[in-house]
Structure 1
Amino acid sequence: MVVEIVSVLAVAGVTWLAASVRVVKQFERGLVFRFGRVRPKVREPGLAMLMPVADRLQKVNMQIVTLPVPAQEGITRDNVTVRVDAVVYFKVIDPVVAAVNVQDYRFAVGQVAQTSLRSIIGKSELDDLLSNRERLNEGLEIMIDSPALDWGVHIDRVEIKDVALPETMKRSMSRQAEAERERRARVISADGELQASEKLSQAAARMADTPAALQLRLLETVVQVSAEKNSTLVLPFPVELLRFVDRFGRPDAEAKPATEEVAENGHAPLPRAAEDDRPG
């Protein structure tokens, strides 16, 4: 009889201990509801002792939660239809408020994020959605964080993931980008032609003052052409050599009248013997 009583008491003690002891993990906080009223003291990680029947423990996750926001379709301020999705990172900073003031804080944050995303689409232009996302992310964070603080939740950050454009808009942007690249290529080519023409003009002026430089350039061209191992190489007769012969091959006294006679008659003077044979 005594053994049975001891056994019953042991079973009752184990049952009471199992009902009164709970384990709170490191990333959680425990809220104790005693007869439906929350206790002000939050249970820290570790073992939490409860009163059987009277107390009920609710655990609140204190980790940063990643909440994807479904893609929202809207019209931008410059009348372009887009679909934008985002992701929200938040965490609970007051477990009592998060458990008491709102029924489901995750669902509430998700709904506020969707409405805020639609609002930011209508207030922004397409260029801002594509290139100025940092400012839009900050605006979204402020819009979502304001009501979330009343639920004991802090918005850590908000990121716009993707902006889906209509196919017609994609083709228009592709043509615009292609035209812009072609314009830049033409401008660069024109600048190169201008710089090359200036350098060629300077080189021509320098060679005109130094005729030997022209001959050196001709020899350099011959070397370059001969490197190709062509079977036939045609060299132009150097013009400077003709000028040299014309300048120093005859006296200035004879060259001047001949030049004047050509200028007056329009043709070269005949030799002396030819003049004697002409009919009077």
Structure 2
Amino acid sequence: MFRVDIREMLVEAQPQMIITNDNLNARVDAQVYLKVRADEDNVKASVYNVANYKLQIVNLARTTLRNIIGTLTLKSANSERGRINEELRHTLLSETASWGIEILRTELKEIDPPEDVQITMNKVVKAENEKVAAVDFATATETQADGQRRAEIKKAEGTKQARILEAEGQALAIQLVNEAAEKYFIGNAQVLRKLEAVERALVQNAKVVIPADTQLINVIGELAGVAPIPLVPKAAASPPDRK
């Protein structure tokens, strides 16, 4: 009489060295989850159709892994673990169909290259990361420089606009002066030159002596908003008494 465990169980495929398609020795380890089907026929099959199904599963899994990974490069094997697991499970299901067991799932635990290859791969990955970092830094620097350039352009445009406005203001002031000159001094250029001299003297905070020219004083008073002070003639001297 045999006692058969129908619970889910784990079988270790044990690590092995497999030569990949790019001639690298990879250390591969996997595990298989299985159970005996819970009916009388399958329980009998697990006992009478196969001798030690656990050991047979281990040997079959190892052989299947060599066949699958031997067709792949090391890089492909690491990036296609899902496909390898599925192909391994499908092969085990097919080969153990008469054993009364069910292959639940398979898992690759590791696909490791030799130590010297791993060191080289790490250097390559590090170099790639440094390259990406350098590109990102260069891009950031270029973006910063572009921002500074745009700021300088805007500043220059602002300065240019301010100068234009200042020039327009000066032009308008000149126009107003010309209009005032035409209004008040048309035909009297000499009086205009005198007024300009007075203006320059006032700007320079100089002492100015203005002649008692009624027309000039009236003009200055009108421009300055100050009424001219009329001149008071001196009283005539009284003749001496004659006795």
TM range (shorter): 0.5 to 0.7
Alignment partner of 1:175 out of 123, 126, 138 = 123
How high is the TM-score relative to the length of structure 2? Answer: 0.62
Per the alignment, residue 33 of structure 2 pairs with 89
1:188 counterpart residue number: 136
Tell me the distance in 2 between the aligned counterparts of 1:63 and 1:189: 57
The residue number in structure 2 matching 1:203 is 151
Equivalences for 1:39-118 in 2 at 5 Å?
A: 57-93=1-37, 94-118=42-66
What letter matches 1:156 in structure 2? L
Q: Corresponding residue for 1:120?
A: 68
Cα shift readout 1:167-218 (whole Å, capped 9, x = no counterpart)? 21111111111110111011111111221122112111111122399xxxxx
Structure 2 unaligned segments of length 5 or more: list them.
171-243
CA RMSD of aligned residues (A): 2.4
For 1:76 and 1:97, locate their aligned partners in 2 and report how far apart those are by CA, in whole Å: 36
Identity of aligned residues (%): 31
1:28-39 correspondence to structure 2 within 5 Å: none
- SS of 1:160's equivalent? strand
- Cα distance in 2, alignment partners of residues 115 and 77 from structure 1: 16
| Superposed CA offset, 1:60-89 (max 9, x none) | 111111000111211101111111011110
Give 5+ residue unaligned stretches, structure 1: 1-56, 214-239, 249-280
Q: Relative contact order (alpha carbons < 8 A, sep ≥ 6): 1 or 2 greater?
A: 2
- Taking structure 1 as the reference length, the TM-score comes to 0.54
Aligned match of 1:232: none
